């Protein structure tokens, strides 16, 4: 688990840890503040109510719990959630939603394009957790050129079709002042396939391979004219989102501040990608940021993410985003399982 940079302010006694665990578990389930009467006698807490009230007070003093108002019980703070995730979750027995994740990348659908698979997986992890599933696709530069076609549509109009290793197809039209010789177009297709096939998408790589000093002026001019179809392919990542409506349910109406922060986070696409880039840097190990550990624009939001890819997990990220009150055990296990399955899937495409 990739933890936050700041450590918790104070260590807890075993009894305080048990009380904190009970409060967090109860609050995640109910969404309501938790008092001593809610947990006394439950979850192995056999101490007197007065003892539990004292420990709740101490946990509040230490910054792990908060008191919403005078008559209410306590709710976990961001620090409380962090301690819970890092030290109290039984990592060896986290739920593993393998069936739901594997169904999104089942053998009968692996032939579809990568973007369709990523959409299916975003839907699956959102369904499992009732959180927002967000998957960043690989940059176009991660794909390679599989095939190029140069077609004369009209005497002065040519289209260049590029098919990538991910199954993506791009088409770009080019208009010329003079009619284009179909034989020149056929030659250009053969030349582009010979020079670019199997190369990573990206202007630097492909431009160097197309620079051939032996070409005549006519051929050189035509290649220069149509080269942007390969060189100019955008390297920006696609973002696949599912489950926005799940965070607007009736039972979460009281968390409107967190929901508002979540909606703003999704609108700030580039800020979100910057946060998720840290998950790519961490490879396939789950990355978690809780509430105040995130930039100010993400108030009340938690993100669980991991990179995916055939080697270091650096093709993109699979993540779950939602209010700070979430089932962290399920979210972490789901992201870990989705990262594993997606890494295995893309190995055939990018390996």
Domain boundaries in the chain?
14-88, 92-138+237-350, 141-231
Tokens encoding 85: 């995730």
Q: Does the domain spanning 141-231 belong to CATH 3.30.390.10?
A: yes
- How many whole angstroms from its chain centre is CA 183? 46
Q: What is the pLDDT along the chain (351 residues), one digit of tens a residue?
A: 655 655 546 689 999 999 999 999 999 998 889 988 888 777 677 788 888 899 999 999 999 999 887 667 899 999 999 999 999 987 666 666 778 887 887 655 544 577 888 999 999 999 999 899 999 887 765 678 889 999 999 999 999 998 888 777 778 888 888 999 999 999 999 999 999 888 877 656 677 788 888 999 999 999 989 988 886 554 456 788 888 776 665 455 556 555 665 666 566 665 677 777 766 666 667 889 998 888 776 778 899 999 888 765 578 899 998 889 999 999 999 999 999 888 888 876 655
- Domain 14-88 sits in CATH at 1.10.10.10
- How many whole angstroms from its chain centre is CA 273? 9
CA separation, residue 152 to residues 17, 146, 149, 168, 193 (Å): 72, 20, 10, 21, 17
3-state secondary structure the chain: CECCCCCCCCCCCHHHHHHHHHHHHHHHHHCCCECHHHHCCCCCCCCCHHHHHHHHHHHHHCCCEECCCCCCCEEECHHHHHHHHHHHCCHHHCCCCHHHHHHHCCHHHCCCCHHHHHHHHHHHHHHHHCCEEEEECCCHHHCEEEEEEEEEEECCEEEEEEEECCCCEEEEEEECCCCCCHHHHHHHHHHHHHHHCCCECCHHHHHHHHCCCCCCHHHHHHHHHHCHHHHCCCCCCCEEEECHHHHHCHHHHHHHHHHHHHHHHHHCHHHHHHHHHHHHHCCCCCEEEEHHHCCHHHCCEEEEEEEECCCCCCCEEEEEEEECCCCHHHHHHHHHHHHHHHHHHHHHHHC
- Domain 92-138+237-350 sits in CATH at 3.30.450.40
Burial class, 274, CB count within 10 angstroms (exposed 0-12 / middle 13-18 / buried 19+) = exposed
Q: In this structure, are residues 240 and 119 in contact, taking their beta carbons and an 8 Å threshold?
A: yes
Burial class, 32, CB count within 10 angstroms (exposed 0-12 / middle 13-18 / buried 19+) = middle
pTM above 0.95, yes or no: no
- How many whole angstroms from its chain centre is CA 247? 17
pLDDT of residue 218: 93
From the list 261, 240, 243, the residue with the least C-alpha distance to 323 is: 261
pLDDT of residue 135: 92
pLDDT of residue 223: 92
Start-to-end CA distance of the chain, whole Å, equals: 26
Distance CA 15, CA 36 (A): 14
């Amino acid at each position: 688990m990739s933890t936050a940079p700041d450590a918790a302010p104070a260590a807890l006694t075993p009894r305080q840890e048990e009380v904190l665990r009970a409060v967090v578990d109860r609050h995640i389930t109910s969404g309501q503040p938790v008092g001593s009467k809610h947990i006394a006698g439950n979850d192995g807490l056999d101490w007197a109510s007065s003892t539990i009230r004292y420990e709740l007070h101490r946990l509040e003093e230490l910054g792990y719990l908060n008191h919403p108002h005078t008559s209410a019980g306590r709710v976990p703070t961001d620090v409380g959630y962090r301690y819970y995730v890092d030290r109290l979750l039984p990592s060896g027995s986290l739920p593993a939603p393998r069936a739901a994740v594997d169904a999104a990348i089942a053998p009968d659908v692996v032939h579809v394009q990568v973007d369709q698979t990523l959409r299916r997986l975003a839907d699956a992890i959102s369904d499992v957790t009732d959180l927002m599933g967000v998957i960043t696709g690989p940059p176009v530069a991660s794909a390679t050129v599989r095939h190029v076609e140069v077609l004369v549509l009209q005497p002065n109009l040519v289209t260049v079709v590029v098919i990538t290793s991910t199954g993506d197809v791009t088409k770009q039209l080019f208009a010329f002042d003079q009619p284009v010789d179909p034989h020149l177009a056929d030659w250009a297709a053969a030349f582009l396939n010979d020079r670019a096939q199997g190369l990573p998408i990206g202007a630097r790589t492909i431009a160097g391979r197309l620079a051939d000093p032996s070409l005549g002026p006519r051929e050189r001019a035509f290649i220069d004219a149509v080269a942007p179809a390969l060189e100019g392919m955008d390297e920006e990542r696609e973002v696949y989102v599912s489950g926005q409506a799940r965070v607007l349910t009736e039972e979460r109406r009281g968390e409107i501040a967190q929901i508002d922060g979540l909606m703003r986070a999704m609108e700030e696409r580039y800020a979100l990608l910057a946060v998720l880039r840290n998950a790519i840097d961490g490879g396939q190990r789950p990355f978690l940021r809780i509430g105040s550990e995130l930039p100010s624009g993400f108030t009340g939001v938690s993100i669980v993410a991991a990179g995916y890819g055939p080697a270091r997990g650096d093709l993109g990220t699979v993540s779950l985003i939602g209010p700070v009150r979430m089932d962290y055990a399920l979210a972490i296990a789901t992201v870990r399982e989705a990262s594993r399955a997606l890494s295995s899937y893309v190995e055939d495409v990018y390996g």
